[in-house]
A and B are shown apart, each in its own frame.
Chain A
Amino acid sequence: MLKDVTLGQFFPGKSVIHRLDPRTKLLILVGYIVALFLAVSWLSYGVVFVFLAVSIAISGIPLKSFFKGMKPLMFILLFTGILNLFFTQGETVLVQIWTISITLEGVIRAFFMVFRILMLVTGTFLLTYTTSPIALTDGLEALLSPLKKIKLPVHELSMMMCIALRFIPTLVEETDKIMSAQKARGADFESGNLVQRVKALVPILVPLFISAFRRADELATAMECRCYQGGDGRTKMKLLRMHGCDYGSFLVAALLITAVCVLRGFGL
């Protein structure tokens, strides 16, 4: 059933990480990614790993959720691993089959690449798991607001994101309903060749699009009725405010980057 699809994987909680300002979390994520790409040695990877592990522990998000989220990425991970495993040139040949050889360098490189992607994705998950979508859009809007000066529609973009997030569950439910109704009229989505299957989607997509346009139209009217006139002169109920723990987190993140840089300087 489509209803079982989990969307917006926010896990509400009260941990320090949950309470951080979304801007802090976004900036630290950027710093974390930079550190991850600067890391070159076992030791520096270890430092970044410890930072991530401690953050996850503080957040109280069960590890299981991270593994679950990782599932759709399995293919990419496997692909990256195998590619690096077979196509890295090296001295120490471990296995030689016909013209393909697996080298020690290849094994190490494959491990690092997969590890790096895993860390990258896990870090991003930690952000989305601990930050409500609305806080995330607010944070993004605030961080990007200097770009308004160069006429980038920052408010409009974040409003659109917000509305999209709001309507995803509604449209998923609607798709489910339309599918059931067309199935009840004998529509068959499961058999036939590709062309037939694509054709079978028409009875779902047409009503879905019509409904989405109708909703958009009604929503626009409702928003106008509530005096919406774009971002100018708008205030916010929840102001983003930095607290002590935000500054503390910045300090930790700065330490992380410095540590990785210093280690890199020493060639580690």
Chain B
Amino acid sequence: MTPFIEVKNLTHKYSAGTPFEHTALDDVSFSLERGEFIGVIGHTGSGKSTLMQHLNGLLKPDSGEILLDGVDIWQDKKTTRQTRFRVGLVFQYPEYQLFEETVYKDIAFGPKNMGLKADEIDRRVKESAAAVGLSDEQLTVSPFDLSGGQKRRVAIAGVLAMEPELLILDEPTAGLDPAGREEILNYIDSYRKAKHATIMMVSHSMGDVARMADRLIVMNKSKIALMDTPAEVFRHADELVQMGLNIPVLTQVFMKLKQLGLPVEPVYTQAQAVKALTALKGGNADA
């Protein structure tokens, strides 16, 4: 079976042929399935953003190819344009790209560019606004009158309204407080479930990606250093630290517990930690 997205030997250089040449992606290959939640981690300059912009055809590979349902996205102009709509991209601080007079119009910008009919646009705007918790009254106000967190939701709704099959988000929760972060993450996961969409989320918050993602991609020095389930990835804690990345705090706690001699395996979510420790306590009580 052809995978949903397949990236083959992708290489990209900035300022190629000048003294400032810099390889941002170096022979990157991987594939994604529908409905997966992928977390992408790596420090600034590791090639994450370049990779994201390739997946929806904003950047053209210097070599290698990107296949969407088995078709090269650069096959012809029409396919490339179609890819923009099938792969949604939410940049960092997306609220700074709002421009329309009303929230409604701004969310409708993407669907309009797709050339959809008016009633379909209307359905999508309303559905995606609701999906990020915006009320109908808010659709008629100017996006610039909203609070920072609400603007962020409008911007995300603008991409959701294109109903992308792959939704890529670059730090969607940056600058939000814990309550706001949790809400945004929930909206994203609900969208995935509702549309059986694939999510790719870049985040610096190890706790968040570890909890949400089915698989993690760890980028380091323009290459994929690791790609596996969170459990497997965080088993390489030492390597992650060497790459300048953090490990979830709870994983650190469990590594220390193991060092102290308790029979535990590293965990990365609170639920896992509680389960492991209560089991251990129960075991002790029995003994």
Which residues of chain A come closer than 8 Å to B89, judged between CB atoms? 181, 184
Which residues of chain B come closer than 8 Å to A181, judged between CB atoms? 89, 91, 94, 97
With a 10 A CB-CB cut-off, give which of A180, A181, A202, A207 has the most chain B CB atoms.
A181
Q: Is the interface of B mostly helix, strand, loop or mixed?
A: helix
Q: Is the interface of A mostly helix, strand, loop or mixed?
A: helix
**Interface contact B162-A185, CB-CB below 8 Å:** yes
Which residues of chain A come closer than 8 Å to B158, judged between CB atoms? 185
A186 CA to B110 CA in the complex, in Å? 6
A90 within 8 A of B: no
Interface residues on B, range: 20 to 34
A166 within 8 A of B: no
**Interface contact B159-A185, CB-CB below 8 Å:** yes
B71 within 8 A of A: no
A4 CA to B96 CA in the complex, in Å? 23
Q: Which of A172-221 contact B (CB under 8 A)?
A: 177-178, 180-188, 202-203, 206-207, 210-211
Which residues of chain A come closer than 8 Å to B113, judged between CB atoms? 185-188
**Interface contact B162-A180, CB-CB below 8 Å:** no
A254 CA to B85 CA in the complex, in Å? 66
**Interface contact A178-B97, CB-CB below 8 Å:** yes
**Interface contact A180-B85, CB-CB below 8 Å:** no
Selected A-B contacts with CB under 8 Å, 23 pairs: A177-B91, A178-B96, A180-B91, A181-B97, A183-B58, A184-B58, A184-B84, A184-B88, A184-B89, A185-B113, A185-B159, A185-B162, A186-B85, A186-B110, A202-B99, A203-B97, A203-B99, A203-B109, A206-B99, A207-B96, A207-B98, A207-B99, A211-B96
A residues at B contact (CB < 8 Å): 4, 177-178, 180-188, 202-203, 206-207, 210-211
Q: Which 9 A-B pairs have the closest CB atoms?
A: A186-B113, A206-B99, A184-B89, A185-B110, A181-B97, A181-B91, A203-B99, A207-B99, A207-B97
